Structure 1
Amino acid sequence: MDGTAAVDSYMDSLDHPFATELQTVRQYILAAHPRVTERIKWKSPSFHVGTDDLGAFELRPTGFLRLILVFPYGLVADPTGLMTGTWADRRELRFTSAADVTAKRFPLQHVVRDWVALLPESV
């Protein structure tokens, strides 16, 4: 089963209060850059380019939707304050409603495109 089919199957059985918002964020990320693909990793929908992980949803909290982005080649600029955290190689995004997901669409897609631009040419 390819990555998208595996994620589709996972989503069909997902019982989470933000499942609809997750589906929307998923589409925003995949639409941001054609090289980004998805799979199930860490028991959750995740995104990658080749062998480089972009990020994954962390679904244990149920009061919001959490997306963890990883930056193996350096952090990207975040002038909108979309991302939180002070880790050396990752940041967190939280979505609290459908309106919040919509409001963060373009900043999120900008971060994804900047992330892809940091990848080495060989990836």
Structure 2
Amino acid sequence: MSRNPEVDRWLETYDNPMKPVVAAIRELVLAHDARIDEAIKWQAPTFIYKGNIASFFPKAKKHASLMFHKGADIPGTFPNLAGDGKEARSFKVTDLEDLDRKADELRSIFTAWCTMRDG
């Protein structure tokens, strides 16, 4: 698991009711695939592997939201990867129980991204 101290510092100062959910998503993603790294980009934690995968939208207070920059390109069917724009898709999690329900799908999205980028 590649934890970036810059993201640790960001989380320490993150004052938002969704902080526990954001932290849990971070742990889930980083523990899932060693290829995935993280950084602070656009003033938010961003997951990276051969390009930017997804960034948190830090101002959301009713859900944790990950914006997948090129989500429309990720192969597969993912019911919680929402949006109809040309490129971006979002994945929202309302609480820790919701994350438990969506964890397998979220892992699959990251796996699909890494596999696509390796292809």
Return the TM-score normalized by structure 2: 0.90
Residue 120 of structure 1 and its aligned partner are, at CA, apart by 4.4
Instruction: Measure, in 2, the Cα distance between the counterparts of 1:30 and 1:78.
Output: 22
Shift of 1:73: 8.7
The 5 A counterparts of 1:84-95 are 84-95=82-93
- Pairing 1:56–2:55 present: yes
Equivalent runs, 1:20-39 vs 2, <5 Å: 20-39=20-39
Query: After superposition, where does 1:99-118 map in structure 2 within 5 Å?
Result: 99-118=97-116
Deviations 1:11-66 (A, max 9, x none): 1111010100100001111122111000100100111014x000100012212111
Query: CA RMSD, aligned part only?
Result: 1.9
Q: Percent identity?
A: 19
Local SS of the residue matching 1:104? helix
Conservation of the 8 A alpha-carbon contact between 2:72 and 2:88: no
CA deviation after TM superposition for structure 1 residue 78, in Å: 2.2
Using the size of structure 1 for normalisation, the TM-score is: 0.87
Structure 1 SS opposite 2:117: coil
Q: What is the rounded CA distance, in whole Å, between the counterparts of 1:100 and 1:114 in structure 2?
A: 21
1:76 to partner: Cα distance: 2.2
Higher-helix-fraction structure? 2
- Cα distance in 2 between the residues matched to 1:3 and 1:32: 13
Q: 1:3 to 1:98 in 2, by over 3 A?
A: closer
List runs of 5+ in structure 2 lacking aligned partners: none
Amino acid at match of 1:77: G
Count of paired positions? 118
Q: Distance in 2 between matches of 1:103 and 1:42?
A: 28
